[in-house]
Structure 1
């Protein structure tokens, strides 16, 4: 009886001690240090690649544990709460906002060895004029429009280089498939799908053409938002002509790869892991990607991009040395290559030659310039949600194209003043 009570007492004591240790404390039994890491990876393929990298690091450094988290759509709201409390994860993904949103919260990584190999295309995004380096890029985005290359070849449709050509291709797909193929597919249950549409097309509409360049007005707050109305007008026109999926407002991202593998989708804005996911389901279907078509005559196509997934270190972490070890590990050539290839995106380091699903397309369009994401340069924080929600309201009939632009103008002014 006495022995049973001793065992019970030991269990209680161990439970109390364990409860009293935070996840970041070094345990007394040699268990090491735990670092929290938050990533914006959402696809199962991307999360798998990251989890494998974490596991490999923990195997090499058993005294350091990485607690990786993938909050999905809730990532931005979660990080905003943590910023307000000045209690961020030890390591986190800056998802395109390394300088503008998270700049004051991240440690300077300029002294790390990998910096000398940073792709110059990322300099303006991840460095400042004083030389501070804000985050380590796991990969970099080259976003355009993804398409069913097998289907387009069957229908004799060339990948479009102009918006007019894009609209014509959508109509051809609808006609030649007798309506069995969705010309332009959106996972519209997630408002960010419409945010992606507006963000990617805003660059050729408002920035890259010399005769229609509104950079100065956008940056100084004097932009006339009637110039934006073209985009909601065209999106509404696509819906009215039956060029979007009928379930555009309820479709979910999980459906995308399956439908593309069944050749039920012509074009979509997804990139990265879509191609490999489709190949796994149906090797007979090839997914291609083309740079953003031009809207104004005489302009040149462009990729939309910058940092995709990154790892930054919270400047107030208690475990700076351990956090830097994790980034140093990720920057090792074999690990950096594996992550880039696993996410089907170019590496963030110029020394890494990553062969991935879309390599032939990136090589085909290697001379096409990469333009930064529109909202990250020209819009105040918070406008991404506005772009997405106005897209949903537009297609649900609650807003007109003109009202979309008016709402954008209102929120642009309000958020700039915050």
Structure 2
């Protein structure tokens, strides 16, 4: 997959340069951080300036990063840090920088530490915090030789969020199988008089549909004891097995268990629909909690693992790296960059990040207290499978999976058509 990624750099270079030119200017970690003088003292001091780029988009999380950086520069007045949060331009910026082999000293790998960015990253195996890596994140960011690619600031354990009071009202426990989830949805719709539908999808933001397939692909193909992981990796997978997923989604739609306006609905409509009790289950990242609480601060939101598809199987979480800090292997300031990572890895700083992101820390021994903490503790022993598309599909298949899902729900293709598209596009992209 890394070869395909390199090829794509040349294709996107020109357009990405245009986007890069409009990205946010570097921000100093503290006033005068790159001025060469220690703020307020008037004393000249030789500084080294680290460049840092993060994929974090949420303002509250950015604010916590800035706070930690300010604390770092106070303790290390000889090091300044200029940070960028390019938002949606992040990936294109990084493509340009990789093509030029001119990367930030420290950067976020946003889920692709080994596959996409691995050859650009310094080995961090000797850093003290590596002894704290969680059992679930360790294999994601460490290769067979023992190289540790990044500091995992947060680890994803994605499942299904739900209205706690609604499940209590209808005397429902979090479903453990997809069939139980569908049955619970039918009960909620019936007993609410049709006010509430279980699921919400957006044909405008097709990632809401793609997420269904990415989550339940693990439940169908990876979770069972007789799984298809090896066949997917060695390209011998029998794609007819995939058809179960589009059949299940189409069945959910035909039962009237999704929003009728799915083709024109927006992702941004989901928090409002959820607070108005028009939808019960949501397949989104934990930042959804903050969006809901802006509208209804006291609403209780629960998190459950992704239900199994086989009745004799167990639920699972879908996860992997979320926010990370890696060091460019050709940086001229690797010792300073390592010092910065060690500072971020401090327990109090990791706690701050966990509480604002509502995600699991990637290090053991970190305390957190937020809306989802009780559910992470409750399901601490539930298996976590890496995001399906990151491991088993070539780059570019997320869009195929999402768009094909929209076509399926719109009635323009059949479940078998969906499967054929997945097979053809996977084979095509693997050749590129």
TM-score (norm 2): 0.84
Deviates more, 1:198-207 or 1:315-324: 315-324
Match of 1:291 in 2: 305
Cα deviation, 1:227-254, whole Å, max 9, x if unaligned, reads 1112122222323333222333443343
Match of 1:84 in 2: 99
1:246 aligns with 2:246: no
Match of 1:209 in 2: 224
Name the CA distance, whole Å, in 1 between partners of 2:139 and 2:387. Answer: 12
1:256 aligns with 2:270: yes
* Residues paired across the two proteins, number: 395
Instruction: Evaluate the alpha carbon distance shift between residue 237 and residue 137 of structure 1 in structure 2; reply closer, same or farther with a 3 A threshold.
Output: same
Name the CA distance, whole Å, in 2 between partners of 1:188 and 1:44. Answer: 27
Name the CA distance, whole Å, in 2 between partners of 1:247 and 1:52. Answer: 42
Within 5 Å, give how 1:137-152 maps onto structure 2: 137-152=152-167
Name the CA distance, whole Å, in 2 between partners of 1:42 and 1:253. Answer: 16
Name the CA distance, whole Å, in 2 between partners of 1:324 and 1:50. Answer: 16
Match of 1:282 in 2: 296
The question of whether the paired residues in 2 share the 8 Å contact of 1:24 and 1:34 is answered with: no
Match of 1:100 in 2: 115
Shift of 1:165: 0.6
Match of 2:234 in 1: 220
Name the CA distance, whole Å, in 1 between partners of 2:197 and 2:99. Answer: 43
Match of 1:135 in 2: 150
The question of whether the paired residues in 1 share the 8 Å contact of 2:344 and 2:350 is answered with: yes
Name the CA distance, whole Å, in 2 between partners of 1:348 and 1:370. Answer: 13
Shift of 1:312: 1.1
1:332 aligns with 2:350: no
**Structure with the greater alpha carbon radius of gyration:** 1
Instruction: Evaluate the alpha carbon distance shift between residue 38 and residue 394 of structure 1 in structure 2; reply closer, same or farther with a 3 A threshold.
Output: farther
Within 5 Å, give how 1:9-408 maps onto structure 2: 30=37, 32-61=47-76, 63-72=79-88, 74-211=89-226, 213-408=227-422
Instruction: Evaluate the alpha carbon distance shift between residue 249 and residue 39 of structure 1 in structure 2; reply closer, same or farther with a 3 A threshold.
Output: farther
Match of 1:18 in 2: none
Unmatched tracts of structure 2, length 5 or more: 1-24, 39-46
Name the CA distance, whole Å, in 2 between partners of 1:247 and 1:45. Answer: 32
Name the CA distance, whole Å, in 1 between partners of 2:92 and 2:100. Answer: 13
CA root-mean-square deviation: 2.6
Shift of 1:188: 4.2
Secondary structure of 1:119 counterpart = coil
Name the CA distance, whole Å, in 2 between partners of 1:125 and 1:324. Answer: 20
Name the CA distance, whole Å, in 2 between partners of 1:51 and 1:180. Answer: 43
Name the CA distance, whole Å, in 2 between partners of 1:256 and 1:53. Answer: 32
The question of whether the paired residues in 1 share the 8 Å contact of 2:56 and 2:85 is answered with: no
Name the CA distance, whole Å, in 2 between partners of 1:256 and 1:34. Answer: 42
Instruction: Evaluate the alpha carbon distance shift between residue 334 and residue 395 of structure 1 in structure 2; reply closer, same or farther with a 3 A threshold.
Output: same
Secondary structure of 1:245 counterpart = coil
Shift of 1:303: 1.3
Unmatched tracts of structure 1, length 5 or more: 1-21
The question of whether the paired residues in 1 share the 8 Å contact of 2:217 and 2:388 is answered with: yes
Name the CA distance, whole Å, in 2 between partners of 1:260 and 1:45. Answer: 22
Instruction: Evaluate the alpha carbon distance shift between residue 215 and residue 35 of structure 1 in structure 2; reply closer, same or farther with a 3 A threshold.
Output: same
Name the CA distance, whole Å, in 1 between partners of 2:54 and 2:260. Answer: 32
Instruction: Evaluate the alpha carbon distance shift between residue 162 and residue 24 of structure 1 in structure 2; reply closer, same or farther with a 3 A threshold.
Output: closer
Instruction: Evaluate the alpha carbon distance shift between residue 183 and residue 400 of structure 1 in structure 2; reply closer, same or farther with a 3 A threshold.
Output: same
Name the CA distance, whole Å, in 1 between partners of 2:27 and 2:285. Answer: 35
Instruction: Evaluate the alpha carbon distance shift between residue 208 and residue 83 of structure 1 in structure 2; reply closer, same or farther with a 3 A threshold.
Output: same
